[in-house]
């Protein structure tokens, strides 16, 4: 538990949370469990104080047809839950879902921690939304806080293995997957065409070839082929997952001596040095200046970044999305961010909660209606494969030149490989971000291998505190 608290203290003040599992604003990310935007870290004592002041998650209702749920992001997760409530009323007209909108994912995490520490779960609601990257540690630390969802009438084969890998612990299903964090690589096709390329020319290619195209795009058009919020840089994680590999091995950071990892980081360093990749200093610089400000011809991130791309109305019809390059040239698949719904120990209506989750988010009769409306009202994309076959998902998207992007994203999500996760995911991200900065020309051009060594030593130090 000591390590978990330290991880929260080191990271949560820097993570504004999911940009979608996700709901993204062009200026400030919504804390929804998908990707994590970063802010300046607060002092450790402030984090500890925040841990003591857990938000009130509302408890449960005595009404036999009412379930309570705590979630965040009024523009993303909440519309999805409202869509689920409306769909389930077709089965149970008396049903009511009482939604407590909290400020962010940390409110839920702190409430679970405090309830477990007190040995009293009565303050918890029936259901909570929980970030994928943190749930396994919370189940390990507080096994009595959660209820088994395995008996719910959910077709688990209707979900991609990567999404289920978070909420399935020692063979037990604890969560109902909600949002699809599948990463996309979107390109400005008009910019590519100026340089003699099409979307096919950047699909299924090596990173070396991608860098060559990027240099040409920069020279001829002045635009970068990719940007990222370098204050919370998720490129290394996604690039490695596209290779089918993790930054972790048997619970330890797998950085030093990992040839694939060094090659991946070298792509980022070379791209930054050659004007192909723009490493932004903040989330707002990434969204407002590089994407909305039209500095880039390519965007790669969790699919929750799509609403940000679409803010530039004059670029409608000029985008297409595809898969991620890899070192070998095979098409790569990754995910970034996401969350699932979990039944707490305080839920006394387990059958109703299981039935609700299965019917709406779990591939049941109401899943297609739930996800169609969640997409239309909140931009939430399903990770339930069957729900992604609806006419709404098959609809051509004019902004992406008629591509049925939502159906494509669901299909891509089924191919994302399962890789090892770790509770110090964000700590490693921050350390590697520093390594990349130092290894670039702008950061001093230090030796990349030495920077990787320093990053690994720092992570090991933090894990052993």
User: CA 299 → CA 185, 225, 243, 304, 330, distances in Å?
Assistant: 6, 8, 19, 11, 19
One DSSP character per residue, 138-196 reads HHHH-GGGB---TTSS--GGGB-HHHHHHHEETTEE-EEE-B--BEEEEEEHHHHHHTT
- pLDDT of 11 > 50? The answer is no
How many whole angstroms separate alpha carbon 285 and alpha carbon 232?
A: 12
- Burial of residue 351 (number of CB atoms within 10 Å: 0-12, 13-18, 19+): exposed
- Of the candidate ranges 51-55, 65-69, 143-147, 253-257, the one whose mean pLDDT is the lowest: 51-55
Beta pairing, strands 168-169 & 172-173: antiparallel
Which of 90, 409, 37 lies closest to 234, judged by CA? 37
Average pLDDT, the chain: 89
Token reading at 267: 């792509």
Check whether 15 has a pLDDT greater than 60.
Answer: no
Across 399-423, average pLDDT: 95
- pLDDT class of 2 with cuts at 50, 70, 90: very low
Q: Which residues contact 92 (CB under 8 A, 6 or more apart)?
A: 65
Q: Is 332 helix (H, G, I), strand (E, B) or coil?
A: strand
**Among 55, 54, 13, 53, which Cα is nearest to 37's?**
13
pLDDT of residue 285: 97
Among 112, 237, 178, residue whose Cα is nearest residue 362: 178
Where in the chain are the domains? 2-181+337-389, 183-322
CA triplet 336, 337, 341: central angle to 5 degrees?
A: 145
- CATH architecture for the domain at 2-181+337-389: 3-Layer(aba) Sandwich (3.40)
Kindly tell me if the per-residue pLDDT of 50 is higher than 90. no
Res 38: pLDDT: 32
Residue 361 pLDDT > 70, yes or no? Answer: yes
Least confidently predicted of 50-59, 168-177, 408-417, 450-459 = 50-59
Residue 131 has pLDDT above 50, yes or no: yes
Question: How far is residue 451's CA from residue 435's CA, in Å, rounded to a whole number?
Answer: 5
The mean pLDDT of 295-323, rounded to a whole number, is 96
Strand partners, 99: 69
Residues 439/450, Cβ–Cβ less than 8 Å:
no
How many helices (H) and strands (E) the chain has is answered by 18, 16
Q: What is the pLDDT of residue 67?
A: 98
**pLDDT, mean of residues 209-238:** 97
Q: Does pLDDT of 34 surpass 70?
A: no
Q: Return d(Cα 370, Cα 34) in angstroms, integer.
A: 19
Residue 133 confidence class, pLDDT cut points 50, 70, 90: confident
| pLDDT value at 181 more than 70 | yes
pLDDT at residue 410 tops 70: yes
Task: Provide mean pLDDT across the span 306-332.
Answer: 96
**Residue 10: pLDDT band by 50, 70, 90 thresholds?**
very low
The three-state secondary structure class of 283 is: helix
Please determine, for residue 85, whether its predicted confidence score (pLDDT) is greater than 80. Answer: yes
More confident position, 382 or 2:
382
Given this model, what pLDDT does residue 320 score? 98
Q: Judge whether residue 41 has pLDDT over 60.
A: no
Give the angle subtended at the CA of 234 by the CAs of 230 and 237, to the nearest 5°: 140
Per-residue pLDDT at 82 exceeds 50: yes
- Decide if 243 contacts 323 (C-beta within 8 A): no
Return the higher-pLDDT residue of 52 and 372.
372
pLDDT of residue 423: 83
The pLDDT-based confidence of 55 (bands split at 50, 70, 90) is confident
| pLDDT reading at 233 higher than 80 | yes
Residue written as token pair 């998720």: 234
> In the predicted model, is pLDDT for residue 13 greater than 50?
no
Residue 280 above 80 pLDDT?
yes
The stretch 186-204 carries a mean pLDDT of 98
pLDDT of 33: 38
pLDDT score of 372: 97
Neighbour tally for 250: CB within 10 Å: 6
Domains 2-181+337-389 and 183-322 equal at CATH topology level: yes
pLDDT of 99 strictly over 60: yes
Q: Tell me, what's the pLDDT at 54?
A: 57
First to last CA, the chain: 11
Tell me which of 53-62, 69-78, 279-288 is least confident. 53-62
Which CATH architecture does the domain made up of 183-322 adopt?
3-Layer(aba) Sandwich (3.40)
Contacts of 17 by beta carbon, 8 Å cutoff, 6+ apart: 29, 30, 31, 32, 33, 34, 36, 37, 72, 104, 105, 106, 131
With tokens 């009293």, the residue in question is 120
| Strand order across the 319-322 sheet | 298-302, 183-188, 319-322
Q: Could you give the CA distance from residue 361 to residue 363 in angstroms, rounded to a whole number?
A: 6
- Give the pLDDT score at 388: 92
């Amino acid at each position: 538990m000591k390590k978990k608290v330290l991880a929260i203290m080191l990271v949560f003040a820097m993570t504004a949370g999911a940009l979608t599992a996700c709901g993204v604003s062009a200026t400030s990310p919504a804390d929804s469990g998908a990707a994590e935007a970063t802010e300046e870290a607060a002092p450790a004592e402030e984090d500890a104080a925040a841990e003591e002041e857990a938000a009130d998650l509302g408890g449960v209702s005595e009404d036999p047809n009412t379930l309570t749920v705590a979630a965040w992001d009024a523009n993303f997760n909440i519309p999805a839950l409202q869509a689920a409530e409306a769909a389930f009323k077709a089965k149970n007209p008396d049903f009511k879902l009482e939604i407590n909108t909290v400020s962010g994912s940390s409110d839920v995490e702190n409430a679970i921690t405090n309830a477990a520490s007190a040995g009293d779960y009565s303050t918890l609601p029936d259901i909570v939304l929980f970030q994928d990257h943190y749930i396994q540690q919370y189940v390990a630390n507080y096994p009595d806080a959660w209820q088994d969802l395995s008996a719910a009438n959910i077709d688990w084969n209707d979900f991609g293995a990567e999404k289920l890998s978070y909420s399935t612990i020692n063979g037990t299903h604890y969560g109902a997957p909600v949002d699809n964090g599948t990463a996309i690589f979107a390109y400005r096709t008009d910019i590519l065409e100026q340089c003699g390329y099409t979307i096919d020319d950047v699909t299924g290619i090596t990173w070396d070839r991608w860098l060559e195209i990027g240099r040409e795009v920069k020279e001829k058009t002045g635009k970068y082929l990719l940007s990222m919020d370098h204050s919370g840089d998720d490129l290394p994680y996604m690039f490695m997952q596209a290779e089918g590999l993790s930054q972790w091995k048997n619970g330890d950071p797998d950085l030093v001596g990992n040839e694939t990892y060094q090659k991946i980081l070298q792509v980022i360093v070379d791209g930054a040095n050659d004007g192909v990749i723009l490493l932004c200093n903040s989330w707002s610089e990434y969204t407002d200046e590089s994407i909305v400000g039209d500095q880039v011809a390519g965007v790669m991130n969790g699919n929750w970044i799509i609403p940000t791309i679409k803010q530039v109305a004059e670029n409608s019809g000029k985008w297409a999305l595809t898969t991620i390059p890899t070192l070998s040239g095979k098409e790569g698949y990754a995910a970034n961010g996401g969350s699932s719904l979990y039944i707490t120990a305080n839920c006394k209506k387990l059958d109703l909660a299981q039935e609700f989750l299965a019917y709406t988010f779990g591939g049941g009769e109401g899943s297609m209606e739930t996800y169609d409306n969640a997409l239309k009202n909140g931009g939430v994309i399903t990770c339930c494969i069957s729900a992604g076959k609806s006419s709404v998902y098959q609809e051509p998207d004019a902004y992406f030149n008629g591509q049925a992007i939502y159906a494509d994203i669901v299909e891509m999500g089924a191919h994302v490989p399962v890789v090892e996760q770790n509770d110090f995911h964000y700590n490693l991200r921050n350390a590697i971000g520093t390594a990349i900065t130092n290894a670039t020309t702008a950061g001093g051009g230090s030796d990349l291998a030495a920077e990787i060594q320093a990053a690994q030593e720092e992570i090991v130090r933090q894990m052993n505190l």
